[in-house]
Structure 1
Amino acid sequence: MPKEVTRYIKKEVERELWARAAGRCQFAGCNRLLYKSPVTQENVNISEKAHIYAFSERGPRGWGQFSFNRKLLNDVSNLMLMCHDCHKTIDQDKGGKKYSAELLIGWKNEHEKRVAIVTGVNPEKKSHVILYGANIGEQKSSLQPEEAKAALFPLKYPAEEKTINLSMKWEGKDDEKGYWDTESKNLRDAFQRKLIPLIETADPYHLSVFAIAPMPLLTLLGSLLNDKVPVDVYQRRREPHPTWQWADTPKNFDFLIKPPNTFLHPPALLLSLSDSIAHDRVTSVTGKDISIWEVTIEKPGNDFLTSREQLSIYRRTVRSLLVDIGKAHGKATPLSIFPAMPVACAVELGRVRMPKADSKWIVYDQNNLKKKFIKALEIT
C-alpha cells in the first residue's frame, strides 16, 4: 500500500482516467502519448495523475469546491492525465492565476469530448475536412477549422482533429502577373501531396470541402477531385448569420437554361447565378462570333444557395448541359467559361467535368482592376 493512503488513487479511477484521455496528455496543445518513450518508442508509463484542485489546501488552486468534501479530491472529475513536464508546469503556478481550475477543467472536458467523438464514430460517418483558400482581389481568405467541423454534424464527423489545408500563404493578388500560374501549381502540388494518399488508401472514403477562393481556382479544385471519392461541398451562407451549415430548399426552385441562337460559333458558357452577366461583357473579350449558353435562376443573387438539394440539382443540370454543348459543337472545340456563382457551385462545376468526354475548358475571371473578364487558367 502507498505510504500515504489518503493520496491513493483507486485502480478503477485510474483506468477511467486513462480511457477518457485515450492515453494522451490532457494539457492543451501537448497531446503526448503516455504509454511509450518518445525517444526509443519502448513501452513505458510516463503518465502522472494531476489534481485540478490541489490535494493540499495550500497547493496550487487550493481545495476550491472540495473544501467540504475532500474525499472527492481523488475522483476522476478532479484528475487530469499528464506527462511530467506539463504536470510540473501547472503546479509551479502556485497561485493558480495562469493555470486556474476553470481553465484546466475546460481543457479536460475539451480533450475528453474530442476523444469520444473521434473514437466513437462509425467509419462510414467519418469525413476528412478539406480547407482551401486563396486571396480574392484585396480580400484575404479566412477559413476557421472549428466552424467547418461543426457544419458536418449530424450527417458526418471529422475523421481527425486537424483539418487538411490546401492553401498557400502569400501576398499574391489575382490582378498580379503570375498569380494564376502560382496558385494553380500550388493547388495541384498540395492535392497530390496531401489528398492522393488518402484517396488511394480510402481512409476514410469521404471528404468534406470548405473553400473560399476565385472561381477559376475552385473549378480547378473540383476537377482534381472529380468523382474519385465521395465529396460533400459546403457553401458559407451570410444570412441570417454566417454559417457553413445547410438550410431548407426554397419552394419551386429550379435552374434556367438559355441556349444560343446558333451553334455555328465556338461555345461560351455563362454561369449567371450570383449575378447576371451581360453578353457584351463576354463578346468584348471573345469577339462577337461566339455561341453563348447560359445557366441562371429567376433572381440571381449571392445568397440563393441554401441547401444540399439545390447543389444536387445544379450538378445534374450542368452535367446534362455539358453533354448538349459537346453534341452541338464537338468535343474537340474548347469551351470558354464565364462564372458568377457561389463557391460551392464553382467546385461542383469542376467535379462534374469528365476528362475523357469534355473538351478543354478556358476559365475566365472578373478582374476588378481592369474592369473586365480576363483569361485565368485552362483545364485540359
Structure 2
Amino acid sequence: MEMAGTRRFPVWLLAVWSLTRVALLLYVLRVLVFPGPDVTTDVSVIYHGWYDTLRTGTFPRHDVTWQYPPAAALAILSPALLPFLDYTRAFFVLALLADLVVVCLLSYAGTRPGRTPRGAWLWTAGVALLGPTVYARYDVMVTAVAVAALLAGAGRPRVMGALTAVGALLKVWPALLLVGAASRRAWVSAAATAGALALLFGLTAPGAFSFLTAQRDRGTEVESMGSLVFHIARHFGWQGQVLLNYGSVEFLGPYVDWVSAAALALSVIAFGWLLLWRLRVRRLPPHALADAAFVAVLLFTVTSRVISPQYLVWVVGLAAVCLSRRGSRMTLPAVLVLAACLATVLEFPVYFGDVVASDRLGVTLLLARNGLLLLAALTAARTLWRTTVSVPPPAVPPQTPRTQETLAPS
C-alpha cells in the first residue's frame, strides 16, 4: 500500500509497536507479572493521592514527594478525561496514547524530504526495552510534548517555543530544548507562554511553586552516577543507610552531601560547556537543534543526583528525533542509549533488590547502565562540537593529469 507517491505505510513498524505495547499494557494491568517490585504503585497510590488533593484546587505542597512544576497537575488530573475507567487504568490508557502520538509524529516526520524512519524504530525499541515503568510514570506524556516541539523546530519557531514552555512547566527538563534554537521567535514564544501559564497557576492554585524548594534536602539516589561511590564504599565499612526519601530510594549518611555537591558542580560545568558551545558555534545545520537538545539532556542526566528509569524515556525520545534526520551524526550515541535501556530494565525493576543491597550483580548492572549513559553523553558532545564548531578541512581540488605529470619525479 503506497501513500503520497513513494511513501509507504509503515506496516512493520505498526505491527512491532502494537505487539510490544500490548505486552506493556498486560504488565501494568497485572495480567502478566513482570519480575521485580510492582512499578504501578506510583500511579495507584502516589498519583491517585495527588489527584484527590489537586481536585480541590490546591497543590500537595505539604507532601515531600511532590517535586514537580505546576503543569504536572494536568498530567495527574488527566485520567478524569476517561470517567468510565478507574484512575489507574485511565492513566495507563493515556500513557499508551501519548506513546502512540510520539510514534505517529516520528513516523510522519520520517516520510518527509531529508528525513528517515529510523527515529520511529528507535522509539519503538527503546520504550519496549524499558518495560512497564514507561506507562507507570507521566514522563511519556512530557516526552510527547518535547518531541512535538523539536519536530516543529526551525520551521515553526513560535510553535516550538510554546510547546517547550508547556513541557518545562510539566517537568523542567524540556527547557533544554532551546539550547540549539537559533530563532529569537522561539525564545520569545517560550518566555511568553511560560510567563502566562506561571501567572495563571500562581494566581489560581496555592502552592504551585512549592517544588522549587522541595529537593534541597535530598540525598543521592541509589541509581545515580554518584551512588556508585557508596555502593562500593559499603563493602569497605561505610556507615550509611539506604532509605526511601523524597519519593526515591537514596543513600543517606556520611559524605553523601559531598557527593551531592559534586554532582551539582558537575551540572554547573555541563551548563558552562553548553554556554561555551553556543558562543563558539559556527554553523547550525537543521539537525543541530535536536542534536543540541539530546546532548544537553544527556549531560544533565548523567550529572544529576537522581537517574530514575523514566529519565531514559526523555533521552530515547530526543535520540529518536535526532535519528529522524539524515544529516544527524548521533547514531552511535543513540545506539548506546538503546543499550542503556536494556541495562536499565535489568537494574530496575528486575534486579532492583540487588542494586539496593549493593550486591555484585546490582553494582555490575548499575556500572553498565551508567557507563553507557556517560559514554553516550561524551560521544554526543564531541560529535556536536565537531559538526557545529570545528572548522572543516579545506577541500583539495582534484589534480588534473597535467598537474600530476608536472609533480611526477623526473
Q: Report TM bin, short chain.
A: under 0.3
Calculate the TM-score normalised by the size of structure 1: 0.26
* Richer in helix (by share): 2
* Richer in strand (by share): 1
Calculate the TM-score normalised by the size of structure 2: 0.24
